[in-house]
Structure 1
Amino acid sequence: MSKIETGEAWFGAPVAALQPLDPDNAAAELRDLAETADEHGLKRLTKLAAAQSPLASFLGTVFDLSPFMRDCARRRPEALDALFDQPLDERLDAVIDRIGGLGRAEDQSESGLMAELRGLKGEAHFLIALADLAGAADAQMTVRRLSRLADSCVSAAVDFLLCDAHRAGKIALPDPANPGVGSGWIVLGMGKLGACELNFSSDIDLIVFFEPTAAAIADPLEATDLFSRLTRRLVRILQDRTEHGYVFRTDLRLRPDPGSTPLAIPVEAALHYYESRGQNWERAAMIKARPVAGDLKAGAAVLKELTPYIWRKYMDFAAIADVHSIKRQIHAHKGHGEVAVRGHNVKLGRGGIREIEFFVQTQQLIAGGRFHELRGRETVAMLGELAARGWITPEVRDAMAAQYWFLRDVEHAIQMVADEQTHNLPEDDEGLERIAHMLGFEDAEAFSATFRASLHLVEKHYAALFETAPELSRGVGNLVFTGDVDDPGTLETLHELGFSRPSDICRVIRTWHFGRYRATQSAEARERLTELTPALLETFGRTRRADEALLRFDEFLSGLPAGIQLFSLLQSNPALLDLIATIMGAAPRLAAIITRRPHVFDGLLDPGLMSELPNKAYLASRLEAFLQGADLHEEKLDRLRIFAAEQKFLIGVRLLTGAIDAVRAGKAFSDLADLSIGAALEAVKDEFALRHGHVSGGQVAILGMGKLGSRELTAGSDVDLILLYDHDPKADESDGEKGLAPSHYYARLTQRLIAAVSAPTAEGVLYELDLRLRPSGNKGPVATHIEAFRKYQREEAWTWEHMALTRARPVAGDAEFCDAVEAEVAEILDHPHDRAKVFRDAVEMRETIAQEKPARDIWDLKLIPGGQIDLEFIAQCARLTDNIEPDRWPPTSTGDGLARLTPAFCDAQTREELQAAYGLYLSLTQIIRLCLTGPFEPEDVPPGLADLLLRSTDLPELSVLEAHIKETSKRVEGHFRTLLSAG
């Protein structure tokens, strides 16, 4: 067998033997490749694709596993054909070198540069992925190649812009053949780009400075404006989506005070900022900073100036603690329960890449001031240096390094499927199997076992760093709570632990020890609690709202019927204790639930809680088991309320701990509502029929509207419903002991359902209901006949009612009738709508909302200009005007609608920006509604909640997040005006 056939001629070694998901599809992909190659006159590639060989089989498998790779090969088969003449590593070097020279070509135009950059970057990206999947490049080589590619692209764009400014007389370059030299324009690569650890579909983080005294700058007073304009063009060149794609999404939010500073900042102003106002997270970020383009010498000089700021000579453990909290690593311990592989975030989740990076960074910040060799940018290299200096053992170094590269491989596989910037493993069987095959595993089960072991190993070492490192452990001093006089040493200890009202805390704890609660009445319970108290106080102290957290815990304790089991459990399970502290410190809504209904706590004891995805099948099986044996109507309803309260709480806990993301939480809350309302409907129908019988041919469907219909419910959402019914046209009255006319029957049935779901009882309320979206609103009947619904929607409904109907979804009722209702809704929406009228009405409605209900502040994500309402209106108007890509099912969720906007309606970049805004708003809204019962007040936000918001958005500080929200909303507002004025 020739070296071509084995792949050795292309990759330097025989290709890896990957297994396709669908062998027939892999064979079909090869046939398509042969046809494409033949159309392009690429005879060698045609022959290869048509033959049987390990290389051909590998290519078919890759295209079966990765739609992205398949599409790359179809668009540019020349990229594969070139490998017959030049091995991949040489071809890749040539492509990247060619990119580097694009910006210095004398006849280069901006549009020409953008087209060439996108074409060559696309080829390089494809080749890097191909080598990775073939086993010819390990994760370390892949991240370096991706980083080198990004460096080259940024340099080409910067060189072009400098030459263009030079030709326009804006600057005078000392050496136009080397534009960056002496230009004063400093482009620093941050994060994974700075560390040469870029992932496959990564953004690139840049900070841009300029030196006003540089030789190239004619007028220092105009330099800020000049370099800010150049930086804006740089971002456009790199990230704007054109018919050729994009180069790299570019992020400038790590610059000093991004909400109020220009895109390019004078060096002196930047140095002054870092020295006077720089945050600890910015110190940590600067560890990875590297000049990547422009004036490299000036960039190195800036970083040298910043050395004393980044690397302090004296260990500052308060600063390390601050970095720890800001980096959102809330749980420095073994996580609660198992890990769900499906949907797990490889980057930010438990035991993920971020924990390894932070494991290294924390120790660098502690010791880098004294040991220069600990100042490196690369994670694994620094693990080696930490071991060499005795900070960690060689065993920990080897384990963390191996897991780091394994997790980076997993991250690359996830992103290579569709070139999407995601770090979440798929939730479905096929998706997980796909990732397993891309990584060379036999099946998803084998991959899942290895993946779980990896996460637990990382988690164990990460936890040990904070649990056992003497530098980070303060120990607990005096803790004496006997008698009725405060012990001075205890007050001092409590103050050191983070309590601002130590005397009040002493009084609370004495209450526990005096046995005044049922949970502390027995001597054994008090003994266990005494042993647990130091750990409790330390844990609550870490919440940075220690007093509030402990007082909420006290309220929880006061309602418990018994305490021995809880105290024993918390003693043996530090993860559970930390979880309770997080709830008490960051999530007042959840704390209130656990306080009012202590029984929901029982669900936390399930060891499989975090490893099970709360999908509809899982929740349905739990509900069925919970309702077994409940025969009486009121007992069924009470059990439903208990079940729903517990499951809402447990879904919230999963979101709180990062076990599920905001999208999955929205689906889980909605699935729970579907099941609970469906069970309530069945219970009410059965009970109602006992007296009133049945209507001949009677059928009922509950149409979920709003966030229920779109499966985007939050922990605090009301539920919007419309109840529709149908019956035999000849039916005059129900057949029960007390017969009712059909309209009266269904109106009374609906009123019973409303009472069952929303009336307050000892077990609380199942859901707050809103029926105002029914035809004629509050003036109309509570139950609507399907014919009346059909007639109203077709003849009388306003535009806003059809917009609301785009989110409608049958959630409960008789299956056949639900299908008929779904078809009817689709038919109404598919009926031709006047595009101009729809857009005009939507714009007018948005203006009315803005006038009548203006946003409180930037955190009012629903109402801010460019907020959630704008996104919802765009998706709804697109649905009504046939601007959604066809699929088997029309989308009801805003996110799905935005993802399927047609090219005729908006370009790919606009669609991507709208989707990104949707993801941002959804993540923030889910967490805020989970944790708070009122509005978000940034000046008074619980620090634990701030950490959660930052973790979910992967941003370092609330001010950066605020700047990001402002930037995002401004962009969405612009898109709203552009898209809906097109009518």
Structure 2
Amino acid sequence: MQHTPKTSDIIDALGRARANAPYLALSLQREPDLAGSFAQGTLPSLDAVAVADIALPTATRLRRERRRLALIVAVADLAGAYDLTGVTHALSDFADHALDAAIRAAIAERTPDAEPRGFAAIALGKQGSRELNYSSDIDPILIFDPATLPCRPREDVGEAAVRIARRVVDLLQTRDGDGYVLRVDLRLRPSPEATPIALSVDAAISYYESLALPWERAAFIRARAAAGDIALGERFLGAIQPFIWRRALDFGTIGEIRGISRRIRDHHARGQAFGPGYDLKRGRGGIREIEFFAQIHQLIHGGRDAALRTPATRDALAALADAGWVDPGEAAALTEAYTVLRTIEHRVQMVEDRQTHFLPNGAALESLAHLHGLGDGAALLDLLRPHVARVGATYDALDSAEGDTMSFDAEHLAAQLTAAGFADPVAAARAIGQWRAGTYPALRSEAARSALEAVLPGLIEALGRAPDPGVAIVRLDATLAHLSSAINFFRLLEARPALARLLALILSHAATLAESLARRPELIDGLIDASALGPVGDVAALAAEMRGGSDYQARLDHVRRIVGEKRFALGTQIVAGVSDPLEVGAGYARVAEAAIEVLAAATIAEFVAAHGVVPASELVILAFGRLGGGVLTHASDLDLVYLFTGDYRAESDGAKPLGAVLYYNRLAQRVTGALSAATAFGPLYEIDTRLRPSGTQGPLSVSLDGFARYQRESAWTWEHMALTRARPVFGSAQARADVTTVIDAVLRGERPERDVAAEAAGMRAEMAKHKPPSGPLDAKLLAGGLVDLEFAVHTLQLTRRTGFDTDLGRAIAALVGQGVAPAGLIAAEQFLTRLLITLRLVAPDAEIPPPPTQALIARALGMADWEAVVASFAATRQEVAACLASVATGDDDGD
């Protein structure tokens, strides 16, 4: 930004420049018009940079313009007219201008009549982010398009591009009496030791798609098409966006950036200690650590959040703070430190126009302080000291694992494991020994074992703090045994220590989630999003996220990936104790409903392509059971019934026409397959269609008219009980309304007269014979459990013809409000449902879990301890059993 300075400020800045910066003093002598303006308290605009003599050779004109720019920017900076953004933007924009002018001149010298196209410069580093230093080099990658680059007759286009590139470098960095324009460093191009200095755009894209090193991703955070054929440059950057920003990040990038930081600290040890001689850029607590701090967080989260992909360091810190990834106070402190450090860095470079970052010693430090407007060197150090300390502490916290190791000596390792909290350190050490020996395929490479060693200290610490470290390490061992590659898994845990602690909880408590993780280790990637531990969106938002994939198979895979991530994250919310199981159960149901919506639509599109559509007809999908009620468990299957509207005698209009009945039965089979068949991303849901008319003996899909007739005339009492939770989850609004109208009419009386209470009691007794409880915690099938509660509620609904709501909790509340059901059923349903959802994750066998998991269950249910859970379970079952008994034997005046 620019500010209007006072005349006195400009004159004072001019005096400080002359007295303390030899380069500026010499430049003032060579640019008397600018010096005269400054002396009168006037600050020329940047337009004054341009040299009027257009007859001058390009290089000469650019050198003089660069000198004039340096003077205007320096005096404006010293006078407070330009803030850091104004300074860096002015320097960066001139670099773009000079680079573009050099490219145009290089092409024009060789092919004078040709358009200057087919050659582009991609600015990396500080030029790419418009943060260029006062005396910085530039780090472009030069690319060309063989199809459009002007060439001389019979000249090889690749050789022409290299000659143009050499001339560009020569124009910019050759020195003469007017100095130079810009130093150019081309070593950031792919494999600089083996590649030409200009690369064809296709070769460059191929490299970044397949061969690039992890650290190169960080470099491209700040990439920008800066000069030459901008359209070509932007095409290149667009093509490699998936390389830069990956949704499932290769955390080798993070380790590589940290490794660079450590090597810089070691190599520049003499500039680490703060004081005279301190390296403002590479020193501990310096500029580079602020940049790395921002880039590490951008690489972790930017693949999922495009708002974080801003190139400038301070903008990135602000975006990370806004998104909640960085503490706002921490971001503000780093931003302030960056501003101060960069400003003093510019002062250092103004003195001799040298690309240096070191604070000087002795009298030179005093002079630098005076240049900045301070009284002495001590004042300058006092200005910098708190910022350096804060940055160093912040970055060290990010990289706190440095130096930690787990011993290779068996006795020492066992001692470390005991100290970490393992009750059986020998067994844990044996597992670690197997990992280190490369017993599993994922650990056979040196890179994998190196990644293991890097993460092992933090991982063992997290497992040791888990409620059951022994169980956790056994389940982790099973996960590693199933992995095809472990490198990314380990690097993710190394980069995000909080995930290691969460993983320990999952492995300790939730065998179901641990098994999912063993099959698909990348599921843990989804937990790096803050939203993963919050409620999932509504069905529309989830469906929008699930739509994707270039073809039908890709769409199936995409849905399975999203559903797997969502279900895993929802289960983790219970284990982590951050969500009410009822909310999680509702989230499971919304995820399933969105999957039905997306996959049914995709399957219909495929089917229509071959068979056309049946006129005035469509598929409707009815959800029954827990999905109909809008609350699933992690292990729930989906009870679905397929209907179709319109005339069952109609025929489709495609190239391969089918009658409506055959059409919709084949389509229903396809939809079931889409929802249940396993792909590379695993299975999705078990689908149960036995609630359709006539059960397994009937057709898979029936017409709405046939469904209505069956329900009104032939359905059994148990089918009408099931109908109380039937809800359309796919179909047009009109079709859903038509189906709902039929269901409402049947439930409210358009059905055969039967002794509902007696038949329900008989069915429940028969079920108890053939499907006994699976364990002492079977919240579903034990006497007084959820099945008994549902039988009681549905019997009351059918006999009293009231309280109809697919949501079981709302239905009970309605019955209680009308005095039909005891008030205690409201709390009973909530308790049993919470218990069932939680147990499906942490005790799927319904057996008594170990004490640590008992505590988790109590927390999930909002109880003080396990004893309270057991007591509440017993009391709830008694209340439900009493209600069911009264319903079965009571005076039913409804039917």
Gaps of 5+ in 1: 1-447, 454-474
Match of 2:119 in 1: none
Summarize deviations over 1:737-776 as a string: whole Å, max 9, x none.
Answer: 2221111111111112222222233322221111100010
Match for residue 921 of structure 1 among 816, 832, 840:
832
Q: How far does residue 834 in structure 1 lie from its aligned partner after superposition?
A: 8.3
Summarize deviations over 1:45-84 as a string: whole Å, max 9, x none.
Answer: xxxxxxxxxxxxxxxxxxxxxxxxxxxxxxxxxxxxxxxx
CA distance in 1, matches of 2:496, 2:775: 41
Q: Which amino acid aligns with 2:623?
A: G
SS of residue in 2 equivalent to 1:717: coil
Match of 1:774 in 2: 692
Match of 1:600 in 2: 523
CA distance in 1, matches of 2:665, 2:838: 37
Q: Which amino acid aligns with 1:742?
A: A
CA distance in 1, matches of 2:846, 2:863: 18
Match for residue 646 of structure 1 among 562, 565, 585:
565
2:463 is the alignment partner of 1:509:
no
CA distance in 1, matches of 2:554, 2:850: 38
Match for residue 547 of structure 1 among 465, 470, 484:
470
Q: How far does residue 655 in structure 1 lie from its aligned partner after superposition?
A: 2.7
CA distance in 2, matches of 1:680, 1:613: 19
CA distance in 2, matches of 1:903, 1:834: 27
Match of 1:975 in 2: 883
**Aligned Cα root-mean-square deviation (Å):** 3.0
CA distance in 1, matches of 2:445, 2:668: 49
Compared CA separation, residues 950 and 964, structure 1 to 2 (3 A)? same
Match of 2:702 in 1: 784
Q: How far does residue 974 in structure 1 lie from its aligned partner after superposition?
A: 0.9
SS of residue in 2 equivalent to 1:724: strand
Q: How far does residue 543 in structure 1 lie from its aligned partner after superposition?
A: 2.7
CA distance in 2, matches of 1:813, 1:674: 12
Match of 1:726 in 2: 645
Match of 2:846 in 1: 936
Given the two structures, how large is their TM-score scaled by the length of structure 2?
Answer: 0.52
Q: Which amino acid aligns with 1:583?
A: I
2:889 is the alignment partner of 1:966:
no
Match of 1:824 in 2: 742
Q: Which amino acid aligns with 1:968?
A: T
Q: How far does residue 725 in structure 1 lie from its aligned partner after superposition?
A: 0.5
Match for residue 597 of structure 2 among 678, 681, 699:
678
SS of residue in 1 equivalent to 2:531: coil
Q: How far does residue 526 in structure 1 lie from its aligned partner after superposition?
A: 4.4
Match for residue 570 of structure 1 among 489, 493, 496:
493
Contact 1:585/1:942 (8 A) holds in 2: no
Contact 1:586/1:943 (8 A) holds in 2: no
Contact 2:676/2:683 (8 A) holds in 1: yes
SS of residue in 2 equivalent to 1:701: strand
SS of residue in 1 equivalent to 2:812: helix
CA distance in 2, matches of 1:829, 1:506: 63
CA distance in 1, matches of 2:674, 2:733: 22
Contact 2:796/2:887 (8 A) holds in 1: no
Summarize deviations over 1:178-232 as a string: whole Å, max 9, x none.
Answer: xxxxxxxxxxxxxxxxxxxxxxxxxxxxxxxxxxxxxxxxxxxxxxxxxxxxxxx
Contact 1:883/1:901 (8 A) holds in 2: no
CA distance in 2, matches of 1:559, 1:729: 49
Match of 1:533 in 2: 456
Match of 2:779 in 1: 861
CA distance in 2, matches of 1:905, 1:835: 24
CA distance in 2, matches of 1:523, 1:761: 31
Q: How far does residue 830 in structure 1 lie from its aligned partner after superposition?
A: 1.4
Q: How far does residue 972 in structure 1 lie from its aligned partner after superposition?
A: 1.4
CA distance in 2, matches of 1:978, 1:835: 21
Q: How far does residue 832 in structure 1 lie from its aligned partner after superposition?
A: 6.0
Match for residue 849 of structure 1 among 767, 771, 779:
767
Contact 1:480/1:487 (8 A) holds in 2: no
Contact 2:406/2:416 (8 A) holds in 1: no
Contact 1:656/1:948 (8 A) holds in 2: yes
Q: Which amino acid aligns with 1:812?
A: F
Match of 2:861 in 1: 953
SS of residue in 1 equivalent to 2:678: coil
Rg comparison, structure with higher value? 2
Compared CA separation, residues 533 and 878, structure 1 to 2 (3 A)? same
Compared CA separation, residues 748 and 836, structure 1 to 2 (3 A)? closer
SS of residue in 2 equivalent to 1:727: coil
What are the equivalent positions in structure 2 for 1:200-599 lying under 5 Å apart? Answer: 481-482=407-408, 487-495=410-418, 497-514=420-437, 526-527=449-450, 529-560=452-483, 566-571=489-494, 573-599=496-522
Q: How far does residue 638 in structure 1 lie from its aligned partner after superposition?
A: 1.9
Q: How far does residue 601 in structure 1 lie from its aligned partner after superposition?
A: 1.6
- Aligned pair count reads 494
Match of 1:893 in 2: 807
Q: How far does residue 637 in structure 1 lie from its aligned partner after superposition?
A: 1.4
Match of 1:215 in 2: none
Match for residue 687 of structure 1 among 575, 586, 606:
606
Match for residue 716 of structure 2 among 793, 798, 803:
798
Contact 1:946/1:958 (8 A) holds in 2: yes
Summarize deviations over 1:708-748 as a string: whole Å, max 9, x none.
Answer: 101121110111000001234662x2222222111111111
Gaps of 5+ in 2: 1-322, 329-400
CA distance in 1, matches of 2:742, 2:660: 21
Q: How far does residue 970 in structure 1 lie from its aligned partner after superposition?
A: 1.0
822-831 or 955-964: bigger deviation:
955-964
SS of residue in 1 equivalent to 2:493: helix
Q: Which amino acid aligns with 1:535?
A: G
SS of residue in 2 equivalent to 1:951: helix
Contact 2:462/2:500 (8 A) holds in 1: yes
SS of residue in 2 equivalent to 1:810: strand
Q: How far does residue 533 in structure 1 lie from its aligned partner after superposition?
A: 2.4
670-679 or 830-839: bigger deviation:
830-839
Match of 2:622 in 1: 703
Q: How far does residue 703 in structure 1 lie from its aligned partner after superposition?
A: 0.2
Compared CA separation, residues 904 and 504, structure 1 to 2 (3 A)? closer
Q: How far does residue 566 in structure 1 lie from its aligned partner after superposition?
A: 4.5
Match of 1:715 in 2: 634
What are the equivalent positions in structure 2 for 1:103-182 lying under 5 Å apart? Answer: none
Match of 1:311 in 2: none
Contact 1:861/1:867 (8 A) holds in 2: yes
Q: How far does residue 608 in structure 1 lie from its aligned partner after superposition?
A: 3.0
CA distance in 2, matches of 1:750, 1:836: 32
Compared CA separation, residues 959 and 738, structure 1 to 2 (3 A)? same
Summarize deviations over 1:484-503 as a string: whole Å, max 9, x none.
Answer: xx622432443454435433
Match of 1:269 in 2: none
SS of residue in 1 equivalent to 2:657: coil
CA distance in 2, matches of 1:554, 1:834: 58
Q: Which amino acid aligns with 2:478?
A: E
Q: How far does residue 819 in structure 1 lie from its aligned partner after superposition?
A: 1.8
- Percent identical pairs in the alignment equals 34
CA distance in 1, matches of 2:534, 2:416: 38
SS of residue in 2 equivalent to 1:900: helix
676-685 or 951-960: bigger deviation:
951-960
Q: Which amino acid aligns with 2:884?
A: F
Contact 1:927/1:948 (8 A) holds in 2: no
Q: Which amino acid aligns with 1:585?
A: S
Match of 2:588 in 1: 669
CA distance in 2, matches of 1:903, 1:845: 28
CA distance in 1, matches of 2:681, 2:491: 28
Q: Which amino acid aligns with 1:712?
A: V
Compared CA separation, residues 834 and 615, structure 1 to 2 (3 A)? same
Contact 1:582/1:944 (8 A) holds in 2: no
Using CA pairs under 8 Å that are at least 6 residues apart, name the structure with larger relative contact order, 1 or 2. 1
SS of residue in 2 equivalent to 1:721: strand
CA distance in 2, matches of 1:762, 1:613: 24
Q: How far does residue 519 in structure 1 lie from its aligned partner after superposition?
A: 5.9
Q: How far does residue 899 in structure 1 lie from its aligned partner after superposition?
A: 1.2
